[in-house]
Amino acid sequence: MVLTLFCAKIQSQDFFWKAGVYSFFDNVEFSGSEYKMSQTMSGIQAVPEVGIKFDTVHLISAGGNALHEFGGMAAVERFYPVIYYEFDRKPYRFLMGAFPRSMALDKYPRVFFQDSVSYFRPNMNGVFWEISGRKGYVNLWLDWTGQRSPTEREAFFAGVSGRYGAGIFYLQHFDYMFHYAKDFDPIVDRGIHDNMLTLTSAGIDLSGLTFLDRLDINAGWLAGVERARAENSGWLVNSGFFMETRLAYKRVGVFNSLYAGDAQMKFYADHGNGLYWGDPAYRAGNYNRTDLCVDFINSGRVRLNLTYSLHFAEGNVYHEQLLKAQIMLNNIK
């Protein structure tokens, strides 16, 4: 009887489905580097979702992200559940649950989240709230990344980002605080770490105003503020100049990011990627990355692109090749 009543109430609602496939082949060549290792990361993710949208603004979705790494023996090496609620009525948007990271934090630079985060930690577990309008947006978010146990530290991100535009000029801001707390190990007392990163920059967007399809330049100040409580390190501040340049014409693009300043991630040798989710190349201090990109396919449902990257750090030039394919199908109108 309960199921009958439930079905009667949702007959006028919209059921939807999504079927996503994301494959990556990322060959990182950092041989001889003191700060970043050479590796090849490759695999394919299947991301199905089904759900219901009601009253035009509420959405409930459930599914999963199944990762198979190329060369792996298991059919699915990692599985991440996807289940979330979304409220979307302009200018407000709210998400809560376990949802794809790309739905919320896709604008953050690599100094905050390196490429491998999208491969191996593709979901957020928490909340995201945003207000957006014609001139910009601002959002608040929380991502719970570690549940305290005898082997796992309690850990979470809390962050804010936003942008305000006035004609061709804009201001933008990104930040987060990562709290890396203790586990339940009764023998080893692992100290608490706090890791904060903030970037504020100003830019000019001339996209569509020249022969280029995209021309966007911004520059600002990046600051990492962190401490190790058990070591009484006090607050350590590492900062420097940060600049991004984006050029694109038809299917070809260039993206350059430049950092000149203090070495970031002071406790990386002790905790590695457990404490830091940004690109470890920023440990070198002065660092420049140039991406040469080609979009072979770029439609609403299919993307296939190749990126050849040159990394300038430690007085050397390192190389990276990244091939990505993404297919997104759905019945959403």
Look at residue 8 and tell me whether its pLDDT is greater than 50: no
Structure tokens at 29: 């060549």
Q: Are strands 92-100 and 78-89 parallel, antiparallel or unpaired?
A: antiparallel
pLDDT average, residue stretch 203-228 = 96
CB proximity list for 59: less than 8 A, separation 6 or greater:
51, 52, 53, 85, 86, 87, 88
List, for residues 82-100, the tens digit of each pLDDT value.
Answer: 999 999 999 999 999 999 9
**Three-class secondary structure of residue 230 per DSSP:** coil
Contacts of the segment 58-62: beta carbons below 8 A, 24+ positions apart: 58/85, 58/86, 58/87, 59/85, 59/86, 59/87, 59/88, 60/84, 60/85, 60/86, 61/16, 61/18, 61/86, 61/99
Delineate the domains of the chain, giving CATH numbers in brackets.
16-330 (2.40.160.10)
- Residue 81: CB partners within 8 Å, gap ≥ 6? 63, 64, 98, 123
pLDDT at 300: 83
CB atoms within 10 A of CB 269: 8
Contact status, residue 254 vs residue 213, Cβ threshold 8 Å: no
Is the per-residue pLDDT at 9 higher than 60? no
Q: How much is the pLDDT for 3?
A: 46
**What average pLDDT does the structure give for the chain?**
94
Averaged pLDDT, 62-67 = 98
pLDDT in tens, 107-151: 999 999 999 999 999 999 999 999 999 999 999 999 999 999 988
∠ CA 96-201-248, rounded to 5°: 85
Strand, coil or helix: 197: strand
The residues, any chain, with a CB within 8 Å of residue 137's CB and separated by 6 or more, are 130, 131, 162, 163
pLDDT tier, 2 (very low <50, low <70, confident <90, very high otherwise): very low
What token pair was written down for 169?
């000029």
Neighbours of 141 (CB within 10 A): 19
What per-residue confidence (pLDDT) applies to 185? Answer: 81
pLDDT digits over 66-75, tens only? 999 999 999 9
Closest CA to 180 of 160, 153, 158, 198: 153
The pLDDT of residue 186 is 66
Question: Three-state DSSP class for 103?
Answer: helix
pLDDT mean over 31-58: 96
**Full DSSP string of 242-271:** EEEEEEEETTEEEEEEEEEESPP-TTHHHH
pLDDT at 125: 98
pLDDT reported for residue 230: 81
